[in-house]
């Protein structure tokens, strides 16, 4: 009597979808234990262990060659050797699916701490909620809106705070726009880079002779993706592939001119990007520039902070700045009578909440 062959979750589904006689099954979004076991084996024992577990589990090779190479290259040892269980042999080489059984697909989803706030305001004070909700998409095929120029125009017209999340940053001209905003206009800039892109960023700085002394109003930090941890304790970090800019906490640009698409969001949608950025910032590490910008309470325009220094931009500058960075008018092109300006200054608070720590 022949024994029925065990099929992994992905392999079984592939055979079902290729057969015209099998009726469609209900969508299954549960974790794939066979895939977890194979990934653990790749981390612990390399390619041979990976293929052995795939064979035992009856599963297909679900990782691309690039993904498998990345996992092996990024694998990190546990801080201390894990305890052996029941006297079983420890070590990565003898692992198979029976020795790796676990009910957890991702043993460690994230090692990040609770998000550290970069600002402090009540819901009614959130600057982006004062804007009308909208979404605009730009494609490179539209010759009237060059995507790279739109990004540069956004940076040029930011008046108080600019936060940027990127995987790789090597554009010298855009870097000059950021340096000018920070050093000439007093804009506070915080850049989060994927850990894998830090070396390329530092190479760019070396080529153009930029050092910490040029980054007095800029914080460059690195961040990792989610952490996958095997049962043995070996782990690897994923990559950050998101790309977006938040300008003055009022609107977001998301996308990439390398990928020929850019989206602009205003209003309620900005809150999601705000929360994502603060979450990533909480687990980031300093690379260059300001090491630890500290939070202060909101200050009235014209009032000097007790310690440290705030941006030279006034609170009313943000209010005068158009939420549309792509309009033909400059940030300060909306004249306001002097009498009204004085009244406005006594009522509005600045949206810049950072006290720089040097």
Domain-embedded: residue 246: yes
Domain-embedded: residue 207: yes
Query: In 3D, which of 262, 219, 223 has the Cα closest to residue 243?
Result: 262
Domain-embedded: residue 124: yes
Q: Which of 246, 271, 289 is the last residue of a domain?
A: 289
Q: Report how many domains make up the chain.
A: 2
Distance set, CA 124 to CA 91, 116, 127, 199, 319 (Å): 56, 20, 8, 41, 16
The pTM assigned to this predicted structure is: 0.70
With contact defined as beta carbons under 8 Å apart, do 147 and 156 qualify?
Answer: no
Distance set, CA 274 to CA 39, 164, 214, 216, 316 (Å): 33, 11, 27, 23, 22
Report d(CA 233, CA 103) in Å as an integer: 15
pLDDT in tens, 203-240: 999 999 999 999 989 999 999 999 999 999 999 999 99
Q: Are 161 and 280 part of one and the same domain?
A: yes
Q: Are 163 and 36 part of one and the same domain?
A: no
Residue 4 has pLDDT above 60, yes or no: no
Residue 297 pLDDT: 34
Q: What angle in degrees, to the nearest 10, is found between the helix axes of 147-157 and 172-185?
A: 10
Domain-embedded: residue 248: yes
pLDDT in tens, 244-263: 999 999 999 999 877 789 99
Q: Are 184 and 37 part of one and the same domain?
A: no
Residue 199 pLDDT class (50, 70, 90 cuts): very high
Q: Are 207 and 282 part of one and the same domain?
A: yes
Domain-embedded: residue 185: yes
The CATH code of the domain that includes 235 is: 3.30.870.10
Residue 187 pLDDT: 94
Q: In this structure, what is the dihedral angle of CA atoms 24, 28, 33, 38, given to the nearest 10 degrees?
A: 60
Q: Which domain holds residue 46?
A: 9-76
With contact defined as beta carbons under 8 Å apart, do 348 and 319 qualify?
Answer: yes
Q: Are 253 and 148 part of one and the same domain?
A: yes
With contact defined as beta carbons under 8 Å apart, do 159 and 313 qualify?
Answer: yes
* Residue 139 CA from chain centroid, whole number: 22
Domain-embedded: residue 196: yes
- Give the count of alpha carbons within 13 A of 17, CB side only: 8
Q: Are 134 and 217 part of one and the same domain?
A: yes
Q: Which of 20, 55, 76 is the last residue of a domain?
A: 76
With contact defined as beta carbons under 8 Å apart, do 358 and 216 qualify?
Answer: yes
Q: Are 17 and 161 part of one and the same domain?
A: no
Q: Are 166 and 279 part of one and the same domain?
A: yes
**Strand duo 188-194 + 218-223: pairing:** parallel
Distance set, CA 289 to CA 154, 209, 214 (Å): 22, 14, 8
Percent composition of the chain: helix, strand, coil (DSSP 3-state, to 5): 35, 15, 50
Domain-embedded: residue 164: yes
Q: Are 229 and 175 part of one and the same domain?
A: yes
Q: Which of 23, 57, 76 is the last residue of a domain?
A: 76
Domain-embedded: residue 180: yes
């Amino acid at each position: 009597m022949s024994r029925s062959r065990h099929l992994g979750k992905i392999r079984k589904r592939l055979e079902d979808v290729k057969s015209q006689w099998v009726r469609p099954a209900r969508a299954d979004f549960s974790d794939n234990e066979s895939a977890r076991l194979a990934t653990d084996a790749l981390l612990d024992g390399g390619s041979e262990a990976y293929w052995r577990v795939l064979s035992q589990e009856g599963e297909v090779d679900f990782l691309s060659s690039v993904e498998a190479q990345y996992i092996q290259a990024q694998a990190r040892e546990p801080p201390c050797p894990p305890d052996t269980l029941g006297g079983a042999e420890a070590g990565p080489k003898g692992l198979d699916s029976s020795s790796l059984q676990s009910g957890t697909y991702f043993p460690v989803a994230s090692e990040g701490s609770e998000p550290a706030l970069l600002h402090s305001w009540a819901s009614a004070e959130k600057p982006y909620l004062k804007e009308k909700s909208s979404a605009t998409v730009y494609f490179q095929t539209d010759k009237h809106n060059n995507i790279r120029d739109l990004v540069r125009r956004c940076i040029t017209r930011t008046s108080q705070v600019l936060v940027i999340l990127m995987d790789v940053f090597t554009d010298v001209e855009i870097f000059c726009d950021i340096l000018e905003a920070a050093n000439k206009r007093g804009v506070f800039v915080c850049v989060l880079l994927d850990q894998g892109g830090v070396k390329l960023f530092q190479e760019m700085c070396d080529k153009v002779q930029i050092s910490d002394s040029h980054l007095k109003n800029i914080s460059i930090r690195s961040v990792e993706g989610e952490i996958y941890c095997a049962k043995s304790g070996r782990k690897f970090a994923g990559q950050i592939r998101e790309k977006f800019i938040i300008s003055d906490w009022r609107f977001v640009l998301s996308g990439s001119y390398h990928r020929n698409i850019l989206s602009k969001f205003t209003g309620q949608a900005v809150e999601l990007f705000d929360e994502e950025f603060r979450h990533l910032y909480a687990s980031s590490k300093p690379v260059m520039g300001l090491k630890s910008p500290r939070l202060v309470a909101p200050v009235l325009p014209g009032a000097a902070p007790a310690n440290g220094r705030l941006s030279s931009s006034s609170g009313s500058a943000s209010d005068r700045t158009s939420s549309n960075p792509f309009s033909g008018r400059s940030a300060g092109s909306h004249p306001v009578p002097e009498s009204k300006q004085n009244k406005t200054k006594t009522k509005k608070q600045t949206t810049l909440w950072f006290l720089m720590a040097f």
